[in-house]
Amino acid sequence: MKNYPIWLLALCLFFSPTPAAAQKNWVSLFDGKTLNGWKVGDNAHTFSIEDGAIKVAGPKAHLYYMGEVNNHEFKNFELKATVKTTKGSNSGLYFHTQYQEKGWPIHGYEVQINNTHGDYIKTGSLYEVVDVREVYVNDDEWFTMHIIVKGNHVIVKINDIVVVDYTQPAKPLRVTDERQTRVIKPGTFAIQGHDPKSVVYIKDIQVKVLKD
């Protein structure tokens, strides 16, 4: 083993990134206590705070991030969240979407959250674009959802397992008119409240903005 000068070792140590520095680009979108920075139209009571998580329980509603981080507009990014489903529940995380007072979001992609709901499109799917039928996690257990978007490339990981690796083509095929705006473009995030029987918990929502 080589004996390096003490001054060189000290210099290397000084410029080595600390764990905190390595994480400095991650920014929290949810403070664990309030819905500050988030906005919902119809059926706002579907969303509440319970034990440091957003509880999604109630009729159809969508909670949009409208806060200050990146002026709530994201193009290339990484998004991480910790999620827990209950039996028969359905929800989703949207990206590249826009605020709507009511109805299903027409803009952007939905990453499905569904382990045991009757819908065959399961957790991690890019809904009706890349549909995952295998179930990777169990109800009543926390799991991590990691979405990475860079250019036209989308990766979705569930507990660090890649379940979707999709590159949007120049002319993406969307089978219905209402899906024509389900494409990559700058937008915000949203959490879906699907139906009164679905109860889902989401916490530790963080984003890292990537360079174009």
Taken in order 178, 184, 24, 123, is the CA torsion positive or negative?
A: positive
Quote the pTM value: 0.87
pLDDT in tens, the chain (212 residues): 455 565 444 444 444 444 444 456 999 999 999 999 999 999 999 999 999 999 999 999 999 999 999 999 999 999 999 999 999 999 999 999 999 999 999 999 999 999 999 999 999 999 999 999 999 999 999 999 999 999 999 999 999 999 999 999 998 887 776 677 889 999 999 999 999 999 999 999 999 999 88
CA neighbor of 75 nearest in space, from 155, 170, 164, 189 = 189
Identity (one letter) of the amino acid at 77?
F
Task: Give whole-number Cα distances, 60 to 22, 56, 57, 134, in Å.
Answer: 38, 10, 9, 25
